[in-house]
Homo-oligomer: A and B are copies of this chain.
Amino acid sequence: MPLSPEQEAEITEQRNAPQQTLRAVSDGMEAHLYTAYPVLDHGFIRVVDYMGDDAAICQAARVSYGKGTKSVQNDEGLIRYLMRHWHSTPFEMCEIKLHVKLPIFVARQWIRHRTANVNEYSARYSILDREFYVPAPEHLAAQSETNNQGRGAVLEGAEAARVLDMLRADADRAYDHYEAMLSPEEGRGLAREIARMNLPANVYTQWYWKADLHNLMHFLRLRADPHAQYEIRAYAEAMCAIVADWVPLSWQAFSDYRLGGAALSAAGLDCVRRMIAGETVTQESSGMSAGEWREFQAVLGQE
């Protein structure tokens, strides 16, 4: 369980103290506010604040004086138009702020998305908790033999046990020594900013992360993708569920035009036109490399 009773109490207290505001309110999002949704074995994601809703996107796109909403249908059409034509600025008018607990190796992938605001728990100032990510059995996979940066079949039995033993023992020993360096039985403790470097990349950290909806969706497109590493994808998927409730019209448009869609190359587009015209196209006649053709076949559902 990632939260202490005191932390749960703080969250409950915040959820029980509604206030009045004149701002745009998303009821779907209010229902999520502050709640910590578990991710991985010790991590979580929770919304700490948000700005805007679907109507706010239309309001900005129209540079309106009032709410900017004409009707739900009008708004839906406008949002779909904006998404289809790659208009990004109206979606930047919504903002989300998350509190995330995540392993350091996930944080290192995440932070590569630069257009966001971040405050991370400081291990120079404070002491990290004894919490490490250890994969669940179904996520303990062998190196893929075809994909240099992917996973193959799941390890089982002795193969899995051996790996889990190492991960657990090394994490525990590293943390024991981290504590021993910080607070030796006698003598002075090592500076925290040095001691932390003994901890492995599966130790958990925390941060506040804030991004606008356009950049959030870009993050989700890359990180909720099946090719993303499982551990960051788990966070992305938890975020998808929240966004769907926050801005349902935008989420639907995003699902239709980005997540569920596909990009065709010039060669791919040419092949599609020929195939629709009845031609049988092969890799040889496609003008594509083997890898490209394989990906093209997958797009067409012809794997």
Chain A residues within CB distance 8 Å of chain B = 3, 6-7, 10-11, 13-15, 17-25, 30, 33-34, 48-52, 56, 59-61, 63-67, 77, 80-81, 84, 86, 89-90, 92-93, 95, 97, 99, 103-105, 107-108, 111-112, 114-115, 117-122, 124-125, 133, 135, 140-144, 148-153, 155, 158-159, 162-163, 166-167, 170-171, 173-174, 177, 180-182, 184, 187-194, 196-202, 206-208, 210, 212, 222, 229, 255-257, 259-269, 272-273, 275-276, 289, 291-292, 295, 299-301
User: Known: A11-B66, A143-B182, A261-B266. Is A33-B22 also a contact (CB below 8 A)?
Assistant: yes
Selected from B111, B177, B188, B202, the residue in CB contact (under 8 A) with A155 is: B188
Residue of B nearest to A120 (CB): B63
A23 contact set on B, CB distance < 8 A: 19, 21, 33, 49-50
CB-based contact A22/B18 at 8 Å: yes
- The count of identical subunits is 4
CB-based contact B149/A122 at 8 Å: yes
CB-based contact A105/B197 at 8 Å: yes
CB-based contact B92/A117 at 8 Å: yes
Residue of B nearest to A162 (CB): B184
A11 contact set on B, CB distance < 8 A: 65-66
Known contacts A124-B229, A143-B182, A273-B301; 14 additional CB pairs below 8 A are A7-B66, A21-B23, A22-B30, A63-B119, A63-B207, A95-B95, A133-B197, A143-B192, A151-B191, A159-B184, A162-B184, A173-B173, A256-B266, A262-B269
A-B contact pairs, 30 of them (CB 8 A): A11-B65, A18-B20, A19-B23, A20-B30, A60-B97, A63-B120, A124-B150, A124-B229, A133-B197, A135-B194, A140-B194, A141-B190, A143-B188, A144-B191, A152-B188, A152-B191, A153-B188, A155-B190, A163-B190, A167-B197, A170-B177, A197-B200, A198-B201, A199-B201, A200-B200, A210-B212, A256-B267, A261-B266, A261-B269, A273-B300
CB-based contact A60/B93 at 8 Å: no
A125 contact set on B, CB distance < 8 A: 148-149
CB-based contact B63/A208 at 8 Å: yes
CB-based contact A196/B192 at 8 Å: no
A292 contact set on B, CB distance < 8 A: 80, 84
Complex Cα gap A33–B66 (Å): 12
User: Known: A143-B188, A170-B177. Is A99-B193 also a contact (CB below 8 A)?
Assistant: no
CB-based contact A119/B61 at 8 Å: yes
Residue of B nearest to A16 (CB): B22
Selected from B77, B167, B261, B289, the residue in CB contact (under 8 A) with A265 is: B261
User: Known: A14-B66, A261-B264. Is A149-B124 also a contact (CB below 8 A)?
Assistant: yes
